[in-house]
Chains A and B, each alone.
Chain A
Amino acid sequence: MSHHDEHSPRVLKHPLISRLFHWGLIFGFLPAALTGFFIWLKPFGEDLQNLIMQIHIVGACILTISCILYTIFGLDRIVAFVRRIFTWDKRDTAWMLVFGGYPQKMLLGKTIPVPPMGKMNSGQKQMGIMMLFGGIILIVTGWSLYAFLPVAPKAVMYWFDMLHLVIGIFLGLCLFAHIFLGVYNWGEFLCMFGDGTQPLHEAEHHNPVWVANEIEPVKGDQTVRPGSQQAG
């Protein structure tokens, strides 16, 4: 028996460009969100608050550059993402009403039936909408506040700051939920942080509609089976 056991088919769920963007978010959005809380609360002394603000700006730069690069090099992924997050039907309503079965599983150990989901479940779609709009607003308001304070109308800056704070707090909290759920769903974690592939049966369990309708076998034999040899 080869050390790969029986070869179970795998599906590419997150291509390289998406995984790279995800890393960009980790090095950009995550430090910005964390430092953002401390910029708001200002519990520390002058030098540390200044350093925190500098980290916030560096994180914002990384976030902004990641978004720009993803738009240039991963436009098809963005189109697919936007189409998915805005496609809702009755199954999504039903999924939302039971919170996808997660609280029941986590708190009561009970597995309840949930409607079949596509590549993104309803909760992820909702998160996607919030992140898309919220992220754009944070980026626009954030750069305005950083670069244009003396020349911009004061009332506009006041409301930009208020928006930036409220959306920042909200998305920051969502981010902690996202990280928690990402770790809880260890298979997904390994997929996103690994090579982007997942066993097909795992994808069939979580994303049956996607597996049934949106994937296809890889053209040509691109897999290398251990021990196999090309004929002739």
Chain B
Amino acid sequence: MKGFQSQELTRIIDIDRKLCKGCDSCKAFCPSEAIEGKYGAVHRVDNEKCIFCGQCLVNCPFGVPQDTVDAVDQVISKLRDKQATVVGTIAPAVRVAIGEEFGMEPGSLVTEKLYGALKQAGFKVLDTNFTADQTIMEEGMELIGKIRHFALGEQAEHVGPLPQFTSCCPAWIRYAELYCPELLPHMSSAKSPMMMAGPLTKTYGAAEVWKVKPEDIFMVGIMPCTAKKFEASRPEFNSAARYWQTQGRSGDYPDIDVVLTTRDLAELFRRLNVDFETVAEFSDKDNPLAQYSGAGTIFGNTGGVMEAALRTAYFVITGTELDVLEFTPVRGLQGVKEASVTMKDAKTGKEVTLKVAVAHGIKQNVKPLLDEVKAGTSPYHFIEVMNCPGGCVNGGGQPINPMGTSWLDKAKAVLPWS
């Protein structure tokens, strides 16, 4: 199959031929036209085009697309393995949706219940919100370096071009790698928060926090996203093992061993008889790797990465904190949002206006922005791209909401024919 590195997963979403009605609903949500099959006939996924985002899965009224990568049993056996230290990293979007699998309202913030349930199941926790904060530091400093060079005239070496794209959405990454690789130099070099959590756990976590051998750690990503299963399988993501090799330890293992979606985690709790509704809450406040800022948690929403980055960029450039931390121009479900922040650089005294754009719902909204960047006419310094309409809170791995759909655009009649 074309477009895959060795060891990568090549199939995640599968359309059940016995159940598919050929209604073309999935095609209305697929950002990469990866679904084949004429109207009325059984459909199938073309894995060479699929970016594994799972939007077809969460929007099919008949529950036909299946997530074929099921690691629940594997995780359960590791949880029971006394030799293994199972660490779970939980994305921000999971804590406002997992309650839905147990009868709660969408948006119920159940972080402490989640921590308690994970503890009962036998997980240690490294909250992805911690590494989201870390991502802001890494990606923020990368961006500021480019801004200092391009907008403030400072010397810099090896600086990538502007605008910079965010790199935390693995569906977006695969989309860019497949459909506009010429834009890859614009992609932030920072890994996604989940992919930072893997190496951090198996280096700093192993040595400093839990004091276990890195090869005994089984790292589980707990994500609202099916594309994260693909991301974890990328062969270059064994940074922790390569680090330890330079320190004299042998062994090769991936940074993230397996990924569970929010739905998978709910299934794991059911199989382990963890009663989510009555489980004892746990704050894990003595665990440094479970501490996160508000900026880290908003990564789950469209505009959240941008808002978090602006809170820090403003401070780093001006030396003072923002008066109002809620950056409303980048919030909400509008397809493309833009904003600009004018700041006074503390170092040089010059004024710099940071122009940013936020796009979500790759299918409907990203193309004009990308065309501008390709043509060299983009007015932006920083562009956040999230594949899923609304951001990760509406990811392909989230609980399926029966009364909703991901269609953000104007309500209109779709009249499929062929």
What is the interface of chain A, defined by CB distance below 8 A to chain B? 39, 42, 45-47, 49-50, 52-54, 56-57, 145-158, 161
Q: What chain B residues lie within 8 Å of A146 (beta carbons)?
A: 415-416
Contact, CB under 8 Å: A145 / B403 = no
With A42-B42, A151-B411 known to touch, is A49 a contact of B59 (CB < 8 Å)?
no
Residues on A with beta carbons closer than 8 Å to the beta carbon of B411: 148, 151
How far, in angstroms, from A156 to B405 measured CA to CA in the complex? 11
Contacts of A145 in B (CB 8 A): 23
* In the complex, B39 has a CB within 8 A of chain A: yes
Known contacts A46-B37, A50-B418, A147-B414; is A157 also within 8 Å of B61 by CB?
Answer: yes
B29 and A150 contacting across the interface, CB-CB below 8 Å = yes
**0/1 interface trace, chain B 196-234, chain A, CB 8 Å (1 if under):** 000000000000000000000000000000000000000
Contacting pair B414 A150 (CB below 8 A): yes
Q: Is the CB of A158 within 8 A of B62?
A: yes
In the assembled complex, 21 residue pairs joining A and B whose CB atoms fall closer than 8 Å, in A order, are A46-B38, A46-B41, A46-B42, A49-B42, A52-B40, A53-B22, A53-B40, A54-B39, A54-B418, A146-B415, A147-B413, A147-B414, A149-B28, A150-B59, A151-B407, A153-B403, A153-B404, A154-B60, A154-B401, A156-B403, A157-B25
> Does B61 contact A154, Cβ atoms closer than 8 Å?
yes
Q: Hey, which chain A residues are within 8 Å of B60, CB to CB?
A: 154
Is A50 touching B62 in the complex (CB atoms < 8 A)?
no
Q: Are A50 and B405 in contact (CB under 8 A)?
A: no
Q: Which residues of B contact A149 (CB under 8 A)?
A: 23-25, 28, 61, 414
**Besides A49-B41, A147-B414, 20 other A-B contacts (C-beta < 8 A):** A45-B41, A46-B37, A46-B41, A47-B38, A47-B41, A49-B22, A53-B40, A54-B417, A54-B418, A146-B415, A148-B411, A149-B23, A150-B25, A150-B28, A151-B412, A153-B403, A154-B59, A155-B403, A161-B21, A161-B61
- Which chain B residues lie closer than 8 Å to A147 at the CB level? 413-415
Chain A residues with CB under 8 A of B413: 147-148
Contact partners of A154 in chain B: CB under 8 A: 59-61, 400-405
Q: Which residues of B sit under 8 angstroms from A157, Cβ to Cβ?
A: 25, 61
The contact of A153 among B23, B402, B414, B418, by CB within 8 Å, is B402
Specify the chain A residue showing the minimal Cβ separation from B58.
Answer: A154
Interface size class of chain B, counting residues whose CB lies under 8 Å from the partner chain? 20 to 34
> Which chain A residue lies CB-closest to B62?
A158
In angstroms, how far is the closest chain A Cβ from the Cβ of B408? 10
Residues in B with CB closer than 8 Å to A158 are: 61-62, 402
Q: Is the CB of A49 within 8 A of B62?
A: no
Please judge, given known A-B contacts A53-B22, A147-B413, A161-B21, whether A152 and B405 are in contact too, CB under 8 Å: yes
Q: Which residues of A contact B407 (CB under 8 A)?
A: 150-151
Number of A-B residue pairs, CB cutoff 8 Å, is 86
Interface centre among A39, A49, A154 (most CB of B within 10 A): A154
State which of A49, A151, A155 has its C-beta within 8 Å of the C-beta of B40. Answer: A49
Measured CB to CB, the nearest residue on chain B to A158 is B61
A152 to B23 alpha-carbon distance, docked (Å): 13
A residues within 8 A CB of B403? 153-156
Minimal beta-carbon separation of B406 from chain A (angstroms): 8
B23 to chain A: which residues have CB within 8 Å? Answer: 145, 149
Q: Which residue of B lies closest to A146 (CB)?
A: B415
Which residues of A lie under 8 Å from residue B42 when comparing CB positions? 42, 46, 49
- Of residues B38, B40, B59, which shows the largest number of chain A Cβ atoms within 10 Å of its Cβ? B40
**Cα distance, A45 to B40, chains bound together (Å):** 10
CB-based contact A151/B38 at 8 Å: no
With CB as the reference atom, state the residue of chain B lying closest to A54: B417
CA distance A151 to B405 in the complex (A): 6
**Set B39, B59, B400, B415: member contacting A50, Cβ < 8 A:** B39
CA distance A42 to B415 in the complex (A): 21
Whether A150 contacts B405 by the Cβ 8 Å rule is yes
Task: Name B1-58 residues within 8 Å CB distance of A.
Answer: 21-25, 28-29, 37-42
Residues of A within 8 A of B29 (CB): 150
Please state if B405 and A39 are interface contacts (CB–CB under 8 Å): no
With a cutoff of 8 Å between Cβ atoms, the chain A residues found around residue B59 in the complex are 150, 154
The residue on A at minimum CB distance from B416 is A146
CB-contacts of B369-418 with A (<8 A): 400-405, 407, 411-418
Contacts of B418 in A (CB 8 A): 50, 54
